Each structure stands twice: as structure tokens, then as C-alpha cells.
Amino acid sequence: MKQLLKTLTETFGPSGYEDAVRKVILKEIKPFADEVRVDALGSLIARKKPSKGGKDVKKIMLAAHMDEIGVIASHIDKNGFVRFTNVGGTFGRYTLGARVRFMNGTPGVVGYDRLEQMDSMPPLSKMYIDVGATSKADSPVKVGDVAAFERPFVEMGDRLVAKSMDDRTGVVVLIETLRAITLRQAQGGSTPHDLYFVFTTQEEVGTRGAGTAAFGIDPDIGIAVDVTPTGDTPASLKMTMELGKGPCVKFRDAGMLSDPRIIDWMIQTAEKAKIPHQREVLLLGSTDAKEMQITRAGVMAGALSIPVRYVHSSSEMVDINDLKNSVKLLTAMLSKPVSM
């Protein structure tokens, strides 16, 4: 799981440019899926058919987004410095001094016009990217070129640090869940549901891929697997989510209210299987579940969240045990019939 997460987090994939990430995922899931396709917005959809039919078969969509935050070049000045704007939730406090890499391979470092106050939070509009050019003519970057942050994957015991843990952790959890369910089938187990493992595009710019994928699938139940900020660092927001205490069952975020039936299903399954879990009320942000919930005539939706420190920075931190327990919980949920 660690090696797969390393590969995924170090793969380039800002919103709208998820091709390389999709190729990595496709290689992993192809042996386990019954059907695989890519929709018009680029979301990768892997279907795992039920072991047998029947009126109680539920069509369940599980979504984790492939894209990451990034920046896009908006102007090149006469000295070759690159002005830029955000792609997704790119925050000034994490961007100054960061290293980025453009899609064409060009590296760059983010600088700032002038620091009047050393501790102030600089806006992106006052920053630039230095790509080593001396003039506009010799700049390897053009307006419209997209870049992602560049940081290596680091292990710190059970704590793992990398850029784009949001949401490559969710991607890994879905891949490993699909693998676990396939292994259960090979050992005589069954899958009572019609499962759609969806690796969505453009979540960071408005949960777009999840909306179109859900419209096409028309699921009975939708579950997003994404990250959630923690409340376990000094002077953090007062939230109960902590690293290493298990996956979080979402009750509410800024974009949606989870269906109580989904919440009960998750918590009861976790309690019965003795899987550590947490209750999540998120004050800021939302997930693909927001879009699934309001597709077509509406879908029962909820979310399973992986606790992450320093969200939307280039050094997001997770605990490997939270990923393992997320896989255990989803596998337990999807391996037995559910009546709703």
C-alpha cells in the first residue's frame, strides 16, 4: 500500500490533467474489475458485478478523486518570471517558496515581489514562479501551462507525508478495497452489490467529474472516499478528527448532509467488526458526495474520510493505519447485503 501511495502522490495530475494518474490506477485495477471505461470528463469507472442477481441488489457508487491542486501560468514578463493563478484550493500560506513542476517537465520555485511584513500571508497575485529564464523569449513556460507542487514521499514511522494525499489516499483505499473483494470471491465469498469504483476528475475545481459519472451510473447509494482536516494540532480548529484513530464517518460538511441511513450503516458495520472509527462534522470544504447526492432524482449519499494534517499543502500527512482501517470498513460494508 505504501509503494502504491508513493507512486500515486508523485504522479502529476492537477485538475483537468489526470491522464498520468489514470494510467497508474488502470494498471492496478484491470485484473480485478469486470468492466472498465472512461467517461467524457475522464473519470475512470470500474464495475464489480454482483455474485448473483436478485431484487435486493444495490447499485453502489464509490468515488475518490484523482486530481490535485495546482497552478496555471497567466502571464510571462520580459524577464521570464511567470505570474500564475490557482487551480483548486491553492493557498498563499503554503505556496511561497514551494517548488513546482509544469506538465512539460519544467521545474520552478515560487517567489514573492516584496515582503513588507515577514509574517504576513502573501496573496497569490503578488507571487511569481522563477523557471530559470532570463527573458520572455527563452522561457520554457507559456500562458496556460499547468504546474503541480513537487515534493518527495516521506515515511515517518506510521505517518506518511507527501503532496496530493488529497485524494490519492482515497484512490489507494478504493483500489485496495476492490482487490480485497476480489480475493474474497476467489476464496468462496460473495459480493451482493453491483459496485462501481469511480476515480473522478476535477473534484478540486467543483466536484465536476463526480456529477457526470453519477448521472451516467444512476446509483442507489453513493459514497465518497476523501480526506478530512484534523483537529489534533496546536491551536487547530475545534474538530474531533485525529490521525491514527481510524476513518471518519461524515455527518456534515459545508456542501452536504450525509443520509442518516448511510451513517448508521457505516457505524454499525464498524462497531460489529471492531474497526476503529471517528465521527466527522467538517466546518470547511466538501467532497464528491455533494454532487452524487443531487444527481438525477437524488441519491442516498455519505462519505468516509481519511484524517489528514496540513490539507492543501505540499506536505500533507496521513497515518497508514487509517488507510488500512478504511479498506477494512469498506470491505465489510460491501461484502454483505444492506436493506435501506
Structural domain contains residue 314:
yes
Catalytic residue set: 203
Structural domain contains residue 267:
yes
Q: How far apart are CA 8 and CA 221, in angstroms?
A: 27
Contact partners, residue 146, CB within 8 Å, separation at least 6: 14, 16, 17, 70, 71, 72, 73, 87, 102, 103
Locus of grid cell 503541480 = 148
- The answer to whether residues 52 and 75 belong to one domain is no
- The answer to whether residues 62 and 83 belong to one domain is no
**133-112-102 Cα angle (round to 5):** 45
The structure's pTM equals: 0.94
**CATH code, domain carrying 126:** 2.40.30.40
Kindly report which listed range (64-73, 107-116, 136-145) carries the lowest average pLDDT score.
107-116
Helices (H) and strands (E) in the chain, counts: 8, 17
**CATH code, domain carrying 318:** 3.40.630.10
pLDDT for res 239 = 79
Q: How far apart are CA 159 and CA 163, in angstroms?
A: 14
Structural domain contains residue 310:
yes
Confidence of residue 54 (pLDDT cuts 50, 70, 90): low
- The answer to whether residues 204 and 318 belong to one domain is yes
Q: Mind listing the pLDDT tens digit for each residue in 93-108? A: 889 889 999 999 999 9
User: Which one of 149, 171, 193 terminates a domain?
Assistant: 149
pLDDT for res 53 = 67
Of residues 269 and 191, the one with the higher pLDDT is: 269
- The answer to whether residues 198 and 271 belong to one domain is yes
- The answer to whether residues 80 and 182 belong to one domain is no
Structural domain contains residue 134:
yes
- The answer to whether residues 189 and 267 belong to one domain is yes
- The answer to whether residues 103 and 188 belong to one domain is no
- The answer to whether residues 84 and 52 belong to one domain is no
- The answer to whether residues 6 and 117 belong to one domain is no
Spatial contact of 151 and 315, defined as CB atoms under 8 Å apart: yes
Residues of the domain holding 109? 70-149
Query: In angstroms, what CA-CA distances link 248 with 171, 201, 245?
Result: 16, 23, 9
**256-311-170 Cα angle (round to 5):** 65
Q: Mind listing the pLDDT tens digit for each residue in 152-166? A: 999 999 999 999 999
CA-based Rg of the chain, rounded to a whole angstrom? 20
- The answer to whether residues 140 and 9 belong to one domain is no
- The answer to whether residues 212 and 318 belong to one domain is yes
Mean pLDDT, rounded, for 268-284: 95
CA atoms within 13 A on the CB side of 21: 35
Q: Highest-confidence range of 109-118, 132-141, 226-235, by mean pLDDT? A: 132-141
- Three-class secondary structure of residue 232 per DSSP: coil
Task: Tell me the pairing of strands 59-65 and 194-200.
Answer: parallel
User: Which one of 114, 149, 184 terminates a domain?
Assistant: 149
- The answer to whether residues 171 and 185 belong to one domain is yes
Structural domain contains residue 110:
yes
Q: Could you tell me what percent of the chain has a pLDDT over 90?
A: 82
Confidence of residue 34 (pLDDT cuts 50, 70, 90): very high
pLDDT for res 116 = 67
